[in-house]
């Protein structure tokens, strides 16, 4: 299980591949479900130029670990990985990766989605968008 | 006793500081801590944490606690 | 939308990354949900040495495309990719990848899972396992 | 008329052939086609396709059709 906060751009596919090679026993898992959230260049009808992501160092990691632990206690999964960007990013940059490995697919799908939903509702991150007209804090998350 | 207070994101900008330190004589509710720290009214949707755990506004902070105020989270 | 049958080992992470670079307009998608199914070295309590996957050329592709079309008509998604291995494979080899890109996460999660469930119930593929004791056809799919 | 018949996976092995060709005088149900092609009994869970679309065992195949018989699918 790993939780990582990255201040620089990351490659979610490479991160998953590396994590699997290093942490998942070959031949034991049958399923890996993952989700990658990326920065869109539009939100609420406006063009977005850059996105700045703030977090609460310490509490953010603590909640991401808590969410992973909850997923592991609710489903029969082997391992999970969460990576989240912070700092300034640009359209198309990956923001978040959640990945879950398990023997069977149902648990991987359920747990992966759980990680994302809980992350979005409980992990202390805040987005500020830069539009043509200036900056604005995102005050609520987009629809699921 | 000493209580550290942190503000994040739009609340930090609104309050005009990232951190404050209080030395009250005894435990204080987070509501009282906010009022002691800033003249700005606490927005209704403000979230509170003590020692990096979510708590409600009536929670009483104790010596050494780290109290944090922040707006609804928007990660992911 | 793409459906690919691979007779050789494939790298699902690289495939997703390449597909996204080539087919997904940068900055428009906020979500990519994916599932990778891999070969386990055990099944029904037995050690499995190799797995041979047969398909029905023509019908398999037709049904995978049908399933993608159904997903696109049921959810607001931008694109999807299905890759499936055939031929002889070894433990830990990726067998299947389903990936869905969309603006919002709910559609990506739902459609990705739909692709996998429909693939498993309708796409003509058949697995034969080689055990220590000999070969056997897999006669039903594992639990979800 | 000509009908091509294909067997896949465990059914191919059980029937002992991958493909057969029938030239019946008129349309035939898939049940009849199976019986004309092999002395082996059709397993209950046999799936049928005509021209790469799933159909049931009573479907009538016509001239030029490609008929396929196979066991429950196990991909993914």
Cα separations (Å) of A85 from A4, C109, C115? 9, 21, 29
D76 close to C116: Cβ distance less than 8 angstroms = yes
- pLDDT value at residue A141: 78
pLDDT at A23 over 80: yes
CA of A104, closest CA in chain C: separation in Å? 6
* Three-state secondary structure string covering B41-55: CCCCCCEEEECCEEE
For chain D, list residues whose CB is within 8 angstroms of any CB belonging to chain C: 6, 8-10, 49, 52, 54, 68, 70-76
D74 close to D8: Cβ distance less than 8 angstroms = no
- Residues 6+ positions from A20 with CB-CB distance below 8 Å: A32, A101
Helices and strands counted in chain C (H then E)? 3, 10
Per-residue pLDDT of chain C (144 residues; tens, 9 = 90+): 999 999 999 999 999 999 999 999 999 999 999 999 999 999 988 999 999 999 999 999 999 999 999 999 999 999 999 999 999 999 999 999 999 999 999 999 999 999 999 999 999 999 999 999 999 999 887 666
Q: In this structure, what token pair is assigned to residue C135? A: 């070969």
For chain B, list residues whose CB is within 8 angstroms of any CB belonging to chain A: 6, 8-10, 49, 52, 54, 68, 70-76
| Cα C14-A83-B73 angle, rounded to 5 deg | 135
For chain A, list the domains and their CATH numbers: 2-22+30-137 (3.90.1170.40)
Asked if C54's CB is within 8 angstroms of D76's CB, the reply is no
Helices and strands counted in chain A (H then E)? 3, 10
Question: Which of A53, A55, A123 has the alpha carbon at shortest distance from A89?
Answer: A53
pLDDT at A94 over 80: yes
A105 close to A31: Cβ distance less than 8 angstroms = yes
Flag whether D touches B (3+ CB pairs, 8 A cutoff): no
DSSP state of A84: E
The Cα–Cα gap between B67 and D37 comes to 80
pLDDT at A142 over 80: no
C43 close to C99: Cβ distance less than 8 angstroms = no
* Chain B neighbors of A120, CB-CB under 8 A: 73, 75-76
Half-sphere exposure of D55 (CA within 13 A, CB side): 18
The Cα–Cα gap between B55 and B49 comes to 5
D46: helix, strand or coil: coil
Domain residue ranges in chain B? 3-70
Q: How confident is the model at residue A143 (pLDDT cuts 50, 70, 90)?
A: low
The Cα–Cα gap between A112 and A109 comes to 5
Domain D3-70: give its CATH superfamily. Beta-grasp domain (3.10.20.30)
Query: How much is the average pLDDT of A55-61?
Result: 98
A13 close to A78: Cβ distance less than 8 angstroms = no
Flag whether A touches B (3+ CB pairs, 8 A cutoff): yes
């Amino acid at each position: 299980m790993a939780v990582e906060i990255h201040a620089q751009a990351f490659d979610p596919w490479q991160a998953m591949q590396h994590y699997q090679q290093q942490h998942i026993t070959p031949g034991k898992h049958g399923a890996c479900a993952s989700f990658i959230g990326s920065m869109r260049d539009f939100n609420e009808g406006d063009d977005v130029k850059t996105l700045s992501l703030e977090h609460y160092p310490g509490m953010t990691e603590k909640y991401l670990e808590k969410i992973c632990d909850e997923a592991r206690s609710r489903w029969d999964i082997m391992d999970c990985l969460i990576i989240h960007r912070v700092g300034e990013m640009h359209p198309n940059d990956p923001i978040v990766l959640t990945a879950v490995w398990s023997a069977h697919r149902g648990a991987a799908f359920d747990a992966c989605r759980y990680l994302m939903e809980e992350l979005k509702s409980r992990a202390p991150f805040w987005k500020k968008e830069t539009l043509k007209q200036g900056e604005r804090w995102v005050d609520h998350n987009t629809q699921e | 006793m000493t209580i550290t207070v942190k503000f994040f994101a739009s609340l930090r900008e609104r309050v005009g500081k990232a951190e404050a330190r209080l030395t009250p004589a005894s435990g204080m509710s987070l509501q009282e801590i906010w009022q002691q720290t800033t003249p700005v009214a606490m927005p209704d949707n403000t979230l509170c944490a003590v020692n990096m755990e979510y708590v409600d506004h009536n929670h009483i902070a104790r010596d050494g606690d780290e109290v944090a105020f922040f707006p609804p989270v928007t990660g992911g």
